Structure 1
């Protein structure tokens, strides 16, 4: 006859709790930090629940997660401020001719090339002005030809003594008036031709249409905005700092611009920091610009108007406990890391400090020498184990 299995008081307490309320079993195991075999109601004693990674997997298919050892390193201190992204090259394209908008070729978000047609304005009035000026030019040319011929006749008659010098001077003055009127008519037709060309609105350079505040049928008047355009190849982050912090930020060796979007964080580094030499007397702040190296290449989320966080590295640096930013698991306001153990990974909450580049300062929750998962998503899978070093 087999002897009964002897259970420790700890195991008996877990077993009794499972019999009363099976749903509390997982929570109890998480608190104890172990896995146990428990005989559940129905006579089965083969149910097993594991913590820190779910049900144990086999050695063959268990996810192998790379780990890193927590250590101390020189960590540059930084101050961060709220900012916004701004296009270095942007423009508001206004109407230069008056008339109804008859066609829009682009909408907000469209990419355009230099010289591409953006809109067309009713050109009938402008075309009539061109026809009128051409008629005036023809009239002035005929008047000039008549005045020139009259002057030649007067000069010949004056040489023969048939007319006085005053009559010759009068003919010369009439010729000059005719020449001036022809020049005026030529300028008029040039002006009307340019005005006719302004009924076709074109893009001044390659860019992206940001806004189109008009519709087909609206009246375009000189100066009315029709399109807003920006070049996506060059962006900058703009932050307004208190006047007392501007000098330190402007003298920082580098700055970091961090953008949180779509559940992920991207960051760009820059060494081009410019403080505008003018302060706002109402808010007591100064505009500081951080030029970004190729905003378009940073991803589709880097567009003008997005809110970012701008951090300026100060001159000093100190030893701090740091981990790679990719190892952090962020869920709302909670931040944690998966710590490697002999049986898998354990999720542990940590308190983070400042961020510099790809490193994050750890204020509490970890000790030097512990190993953490570099891929927190895979570390949370069932049976995940630290990869062999």
Structure 2
């Protein structure tokens, strides 16, 4: 056991000595190698608080029966997309049709009676000044003309109601959307007010998330926000910030309206909401400038007339225009001159050492 431990310590010591010798020799030959360098520059970066946002419908509805009858057909099922105005469900219409026919007959009768009453009133009105008609008969004719005219109006209103009852036997979609619930089946007898189908509009949805109280000022300043999933990014300036909280932790509810014309969002899915909370100065370097061996992460930074290996601490990576940049949290300062291609520089150092040894 003691022998194994001693061997490990000896191996570690040899590796350390080799690495130290390598670094020293690297410094010695650094000025003789052609270098491609970059200058580290700090830039202002926005820090974001990532919050989970759940997608919800803005407009949803449950259509109910406005008449009674038996279900003849259901044209859509749960999860189907339905265009606005499409017939969802059909109900028997015999009773409603009979009511419509009766209303039409009653209107025709009222109109005929009204024609007769108006004609009689006109005759009496011409004869009354001549004394051929008594005042009582004239008053009766006037009253009859008015009541028959009102009867026509009442019959027309009844006909409109009867037509609506017939229309109610075909239940139409109030908006373009997706069916989420079916509460009746074909052949069932339904009554007035009974729930039939449920759904939501898919063209506009909202993302709901909760912001901790400590960021209420940042939330107050928020005018636009970015939300994203694994595939798409969504930008919105339609932000509804609640002025009260119903949560146990007193966090603030925020609702963000999202356009969904391309049907890329689904109700119930989760998005990441990026709330800007601070501005910091950050240095980014190309990934090629980072030299990594095991747990060692470093860059080659100019000091005097040499480029020395300087250990750095890395943050997040950002890729744009096929170039990967790495955030430098510590080890590099604004204005430092850095070797752009650390791997090639190390190879050149090794080659230079080999040539000098020979």
CA deviations 1:231-286 (Å, max 9, x no partner) are 33333311133455344124236433233xxxxx2342424151344423564343
Contact 1:88 1:235 in 2 (8 A): yes
Report the TM-score, using the length of structure 1 for normalisation.
0.58
Among 45, 54, 64, the residue aligned to 1:94: 64
CA deviations 1:116-157 (Å, max 9, x no partner) are 211112212211211121121122123223322432443344
Aligned to 1:122: 92
- Alpha-carbon shift at residue 363 of structure 1 (Å): 9.7
Q: Does residue 240 in structure 1 map to residue 210 in structure 2? A: yes
Aligned to 1:205: 175
Contact 1:250 1:288 in 2 (8 A): no
Contact 1:91 1:229 in 2 (8 A): yes
- Alpha-carbon shift at residue 304 of structure 1 (Å): 1.1
Aligned to 1:311: 274
- State how far apart, in whole Å, the 2-side matches of 1:182 and 1:78 are: 70
Unaligned runs of 5+ in 2: 8-14, 16-40, 294-312, 333-337, 342-358
Q: How does 1:219-368 map to 2 (within 5 A)?
A: 219-252=189-222, 254-259=224-229, 265-281=230-246, 283=248, 284-292=250-258, 294-297=259-262, 299=264, 302-319=265-282
Q: Does residue 143 in structure 1 map to residue 113 in structure 2? A: yes
Q: How does 1:1-20 map to 2 (within 5 A)?
A: none
Aligned to 1:85: 55
Report the TM-score, using the length of structure 2 for normalisation.
0.62
- State how far apart, in whole Å, the 2-side matches of 1:240 and 1:123 are: 50
- State how far apart, in whole Å, the 1-side matches of 2:318 and 2:86 are: 43
Structure 2 counterpart SS, 1:209: strand
- State how far apart, in whole Å, the 2-side matches of 1:119 and 1:226 are: 8
Contact 1:256 1:356 in 2 (8 A): no
Q: Does residue 186 in structure 1 map to residue 156 in structure 2? A: yes
Contact 1:95 1:222 in 2 (8 A): yes
Contact 1:254 1:313 in 2 (8 A): no
CA deviations 1:145-182 (Å, max 9, x no partner) are 33224324433442332332232012101110011011
Inter-CA distance 75–223: structure 2 relative to 1 (3 Å threshold) = farther
- State how far apart, in whole Å, the 1-side matches of 2:116 and 2:270 are: 71
Unaligned runs of 5+ in 1: 1-9, 14-31, 33-70, 260-264, 325-338, 343-350, 372-389
**Pairwise CA RMSD of aligned residues?**
4.2
